A and B are shown apart, each in its own frame.
Chain A
Amino acid sequence: MMMLRNLKFALDSAWQSFWRNLAVSLAAVVSITLILILAGINLLVGHAFSQVLDGFRAKVSEMSINIADDTPLSTVYSFRDKLAGDPRVVSVKFVTKDEALAQFLADPNNAELTQQIVGNPLDAKLQVRVRNLSDVTAIDTMAQQWPGVDPTDPTNYQGDFVTRMLQLSQWLGIAGVALMSMLVIVSVVIVMNTIRTAVYHRRKEIEVMKLVGATEWFVRGPFVIEGVMTGLIAAAIALSLLVISYPPVVSRFSADITFIPLSYDPSFISSLARDLLLGGAMLGALGSYIGVRRYVRL
């Protein structure tokens, strides 16, 4: 009961304070909105990149090991079983020379080449699907050392490309985290200053509260709520702007740059909403918490 009454008091005075310092409150909302938009863009770009990466990953995590023509079938089977037993491997499929040729001929991209083919120049191969992209290198090394591999064209593994992609995604991740932490610091400072202004405007009330025996958190509560309110309002604005502009930007982008498999992903909206609202509330709470700890003491 008492908690509820105190909460009501805090909500009332937070609301009043927000409107009383409307200029400062709005300035804070606008700044936090901009910051959250940046954060949202960061999240969206990260998501788009991982979408694209997933597309590539599906292709790259599958590799084929070409088998020399004179390899006995028993050697192939034992290597296939060895690969299949490896925890890093999802599946192994043996493709005979005939099947490989059939696959090759079936692909319309190879239409011009098919006329020039005499006999069957293709190798039999083991198609390996790897669980983690980063394990492809190890499997490739294993295959290279296998005696049955075709020495002229051992595997279709493009080590360079894979490691580049992995590096890029790592760097992007680090840059994202760095950007996010900068944004967090900036917005916490903004909220802190808003709260300082609010505290200044209400110093008389705070003084009286302390004198009549308010607990420290009773005095601080309204400011923390005001901070959370600021953060939530900013998050709501940032979110709606992002949600409105996300589909047109994606369609524009995928129309211009067709080779990157980017698509509008409505399921990401809900996770974006959760992240932004939660982030806004937490930024507001953190900024005002630090603010009141500094400026409101008994």
Chain B
Amino acid sequence: MLRLGLRLDRRLELLGALSYTARDLARRARKRHASLQKTQLMVLTPDFATRPVISFQHVWKRYETGTEALRDINLVVPDGDFMFLVGPSGAGKSTMVRLLIREEKPTKGKIFVDGVELGRMKRRQLPFYRRRIGLVFQDFKLLPNLTVYENVAFALRVHGEPDALIKTRVAEAVDTVGLAGKEQTYPANLSGGEQQRVAIARALVHAPKMIIADEPTGNLDPATAWEIMQLFLRINARGATVVMATHNREIVDLLRRRVVAIDAGQIARDDRSGRYHDDASKSQVRAR
């Protein structure tokens, strides 16, 4: 039912996007932001009292090369949260993402997701853990020899889902990201923004509780980036927790969501409705 309501919402948004230019980005965003804030206040304020979806407890990460990428990270992400991870290049954002999807293990400390400690998870459980997450990357990671439909269906095929279910789910996901009609196109014939939409469709086609995105707008122009961000907001409004590492200052500053700033492997700041840079100008200087 949420989905139906949101599809309507998406149509309105697409109508809006037609007349959309980079120039009035800020003005429109502010308006949209205000309305989103309203809905959020009404129904979707993250409940910090509920069990956290993600929690980092004294997490350290040192790569084999000796690089100390993370130092004593403590972080709680409640269910339904929308969180930006910001910070200068090399701060450790991607490292946190890699730890979250258990591509890497912490050197010290524990990470819990849904009450399960990732470090204790057996290798054979790992795939089933990853099926509960949706992942989006800067470089889209689409398979060039598969069509849009097949790329989105890929996740479900890997999960061994039946064709009938794949069909309806993919149709829904493709529709959600606004690519209906492009199912048979190959990624090479899509724009960057469209490719990222395909990747997002693939990330949400199995209805994950948690979306993790590492610089999803990094390769996109501001207007497209903003459109992609709308998708994430919508997914979050459906109830999925979103963790997003980003360098997109404009968007972070406009949305005023939770911002966790990482600097040299440590949490420098954690604001519930923050900006890309700290308000104090001295930390702006330091962050650059």
**Partner-B contacts on A (CB < 8 A):** 1-2, 5-6, 9, 204-205, 207-216, 218, 298
Contact = CB atoms under 8 A, between A and B. Distances in A.
B160 A212 contact: no
Contacts of B143: 204-205, 208
B154 interface: yes
B159 interface: yes
Nearest to A211: B135
A212 B123 contact: no
Contacts of A216: 123-124, 127
A130 B23 CA distance: 104
Contacts of B141: 204, 207-208, 211
The secondary structure that dominates the B interface is mixed
A209 B141 CA distance: 11
A221 to B, nearest CB: 11
B2 interface: no
B154 A212 contact: yes
Closest 5 CB pairs of A and B: A213-B131, A213-B130, A212-B155, A2-B160, A214-B158
Interface string B153-165: 0110111111000
Interface residues on B, range: 20 to 34
Contacts of B127: 210, 213-216, 218, 298
26 contacts: A1-B162, A2-B160, A5-B160, A5-B162, A6-B160, A9-B157, A9-B158, A204-B143, A205-B143, A207-B141, A208-B154, A209-B158, A210-B127, A211-B130, A211-B135, A212-B159, A213-B128, A213-B133, A213-B155, A213-B159, A214-B127, A215-B127, A216-B127, A218-B127, A218-B158, A298-B123
Contacts of B113: none
Nearest to B151: A208
Nearest to A207: B141
A102 to B, nearest CB: 81
